[in-house]
Structure 1
Amino acid sequence: MMRQLVVITGMSGSGKSIALRALEDAGYYCVDNLPPELLEPLIGLDDPRKPGRTAVAMDVRSGASLPQVPLMLQTLRDRGVEVRQIFLDASDDTLLRRFSETRRRHPLSSSGDVSQQQALTEAIAAERDLLADMRERSHVIDTSMLRAAQLQSFVKSLIAAPSSQLTLVFESFAFKRGIALDADFVFDVRMLPNPHYEPELRALTGRDAGVIEFLRREPEVGRMFHEIAAFLRGWLPELADNQRSYVTVAIGCTGGQHRSVYLVEQLAAAFSRDWHTLTRHRELPPA
C-alpha cells in the first residue's frame, strides 16, 4: 500500500491543531510541530512497522529548517509517497483577535519598545513572508469565518478526494463578511435577482426547492452559470497540465445563503461529470 503523508502548515492561530484532530479522527498517525529533519525517519520508507498514513503540522517554529521542506517533500514523492499539502490562512484582523482572546504569544513576537499590538502585527507580517513559498505549493483553506466543525469537515473531504486528478472546490461566501482568501477564482453574483426579498424564501437556502425554482426562472442566473462554466472549461485543461491538485472557485453574494449557494451546487453538479468536485458553503452550517 502506498504511504500517505498530509502536511498541515499555515499561519499561527489559523487552526492547525483543529485540522490535525480531524486527520487523527480519519485514522492518520499525527505529529504536531515536527522538525523537518525528522520527516523522513517518521515516514519510515524502509520500515514496514511505520504507519501507512501520517499527518504532520509544521510552522515557523521550525525556523531555519523551513525552506528545506519543499525539497524534502519532493524527495518523498519521488520515492513513492503520496503527499498532500494544506495551508491554513486567516485575515490579519482575525489572527489579531484570536491572539488577543487567547492571550497567547506569537512565536515570532519580539520584546522591545513597541506596543503588544504593534509587535503582534509585525510578527504576523513576518510570518506571511516566511511561509509564502509553502502557501504557494499548498491547497489553501481560509479559516477566518469557519467554525471548528466546518474546518474539520473541509479537511476530511480534501483527503478523501483522489490525489491522481485535479479536484474542483466550489465555495459560496458572503461579501458582507469578507472575501474568500483561499480562492483561485472569485465571481461576484450580487447583481442577480435576490430571493432574500421574497418573504417565503428568506429563511431558505440555495439548496432548497423554493429558492432553486425561483433562480431557475431568472434568465440572468442562467447566463451567469453558463459564462462561469465556459470560463472554467476553457482553462481547466491548462490548470491540470500545470500539476495543480486543487482549484478553488468562490462564488459570492451579499449574504452567502441563496444565489451563491445555488450556483455552487449547480456548477459542482455540472462539472462532476468530468472532474472530481467538492462543495463548501462558508456561511451555512455543515450539512
Structure 2
Amino acid sequence: MQEHNETLMPLVLVTGPSGAGRSSAINVLEDLGFEAIDNLPLRLLPRLVISEEIKSPIALGLDSRNRDFSTEALLDLIAVLEGYQHAQLTVLYLDARPEVLLRRYSETRRRHPLAPAETPEIGVKRELDLMRPIRERADLLLDTSDLNVHQLKAEIEHWFAPGGRSLALSVQSFSYKRGIPHSVDMVFDCRFLTNPYWQEKLRSLNGRDSAVQAHVMNDPRYGEFFDRVLGLTRMLLPAYREEGKSHLSIAFGCTGGQHRSVTLAETLAKALAEDGQQVSIRHRELQGQQ
C-alpha cells in the first residue's frame, strides 16, 4: 500500500473466492459513496481508472469469474494500480472457511464457476488454490465465515466509511476450540490466566461482566501481561501509520472465548479508546448475545 496521503482518493479492489461476500461488500461500498465497477475484464481496468484523474472513491470488484482472469494478471493489475499517484489502493480480500463456502453453495444450489460440470467441493478447492497468492497480497483480509450480512456491512463501514481511514483498530476475542481468526495481525493467548469457568457463579457470565473481569484481573500475572500488550500496541501504532496502514487487528484467545479473552479485549479496547484511538470490538463466540 502506498504511503498515506489525505489528498489521495480511495481505490478499493475487492476480491476473494466465490461465495465469500464480495458482491455484498461492493454494495456496501457503493452505499458509502464509492463508484462501483464490478467484473469488467482485467485488461480494461487500468485504462478506465488511470485514463483520467479520480474524482470520487472507486471500488473494483474482481474474482475468478472475470472473463480474462488469472492470478498473474490480477497481481500485475495490483502493481499498476499501486503505482497510480492520484489514488490510494487497498486490496480487500473477502475470505471464508472451505466448509462455509461449500455450505453456501449447497444452500443456493448454484454450480461453482470453476467446476460447472463437477462437484462444488472441487470448485471450492480449485478456486482457493488459485486465489492464494492474491490472499497473501491483500492489505485487508476479512473472514466472513461467522458474519451475517449485517455484520459484514458493519465491518466494511468500519474500515471504509468517510473519516474512518486514519488508523482503525479492531480488538477481538475468540475460542481456540474453533481456531484462530484469519483476519488478524496479532494474536495473544491468555489461557494461562485463572479461568472463571470453574467458578459456578461466574460460569454463565462473560468477560463483559464486572465480576468476571475482577476475577481475571485478580490473577497476579494479569497486570504485567496487560501492560506489556498495551505497551507493544502503543509502540506499533506510529509504525503502522508511517507504513501507510489503515487498520490493525488484535485478537485474544482462550479456551471457550467467553471469559478471559473477552476481558482482555474489553480492557485493551477501553485503554486504547481513552488514548483517543478509533477502536471496534468483536467477540466471536458471543455473537447473538450482544
Class of the TM-score when normalised by the shorter of the 2 chains = 0.7 to 0.9
Q: What do the CA deviations read for 1:255-279 (whole angstroms, capped 9, x no partner)?
A: 3222212211222232342754332
Deviation at 1:249, TM superposition (A): 1.5
Counterparts in 2 of 1:254 and 1:149: CA distance versus 1, 3 Å: farther
CA distance in 1, matches of 2:9, 2:245: 20
| Distance in 2 of aligned mates of 1:82 and 1:242 | 13
**Amino acid of the residue matched to residue 259 of structure 1?**
R
How far 1:32 moved relative to its partner?
Answer: 2.9
CA distance in 1, matches of 2:216, 2:31: 39
1:116-160 per-residue CA deviation (whole Å, 9 max, x = no partner) reads 25523541343233xx23542321111122222221111111113
Find the counterpart in structure 2 of residue 218 from structure 1.
219
Aligned to 1:58: 62
**1:119 alignment partner in structure 2:** 122
State the Cα deviation string for residues 152-186 of structure 1 (Å, max 9, x = none): 111111113643x4433222112222221112222
The separation in 1 between residues aligned to 2:141 and 2:54, in whole angstroms, is 32
In structure 1, the partner of 2:75 is 67
Counterpart in 2 of 1:277?
Answer: 279
Residue among 131, 138, 143 paired with 1:128: 131
* Counterpart contact for 1:201–1:211, Cα < 8 Å: yes
Do the aligned partners of 1:106 and 1:120 also contact (CA within 8 Å) in 2? yes
Q: 1:121 to 1:162 in 2, by over 3 A?
A: closer
Indicate yes or no: 2:93 matched with 1:87: yes
1:28 to 34, 39, 43: 34
8 Å CA contact 1:9–1:58 kept in 2: the answer is yes
Distance in 2 separating the partners of 1:159 and 1:28 = 10
2:14 touches 2:26 (CA, 8 Å); kept in 1? yes
Distance 1:68 1:257 in 2: 44
Alignment partners' CA distance in 2, 1:58 and 1:250: 29
Distance 1:203 1:27 in 2: 43
The 3-state SS of whatever aligns with 1:176 is: helix
**Contact 1:169 1:247 (C-alpha < 8 Å) held by counterparts:** yes
Say whether the 8 Å CA contact 2:105–2:120 is kept in structure 1.
no
Contact kept, 8 Å, 1:23 with 1:155, in 2: the verdict is: yes
Looking at structure 2, the residues matched to 40 and 188 of structure 1 have their Cα atoms a distance apart, in angstroms, of: 47
What is the alpha-carbon distance in structure 2 between the residues aligned to residue 128 and residue 84 of structure 1? 17
Q: Aligned residues, how many?
A: 276
Measured in 2, the distance between the counterparts of 1:26 and 1:12 equals: 23
Question: Partners of 2:58 and 2:124 in 1: how far apart?
Answer: 33
The separation in 2 between residues aligned to 1:220 and 1:280, in whole angstroms, is: 24
Kindly provide the amino acid, as one letter, of the partner of residue 120 in structure 1: G
Q: Is the 8 A contact 1:11 1:127 kept in 2?
A: no
Aligned to 2:4: none
Q: How many Å separate the matches in 2 of 1:27 and 1:192?
A: 45
User: Given the two structures, how large is their TM-score scaled by the length of structure 2?
Assistant: 0.80
RMSD value over aligned CA atoms? 3.0
Residues 1:102 and 2:103 aligned together: no
Distance in 2 (alpha carbons) for counterparts of 1:137 and 1:245: 13
Q: Which amino acid aligns with 1:244?
A: K
Once the two structures are superposed, what CA deviation does each residue of 1:209-251 show, in whole Å capped at 9, x if it has no partner? 3333333333233233123234444555544444433222211
Using the aligned pairs only, state the percent identity.
36
User: What letter matches 2:115 in structure 1?
Assistant: S
- CA distance in 2 between counterparts of 1:195 and 1:183 reads 26
Residue type of the alignment partner of 1:41: L
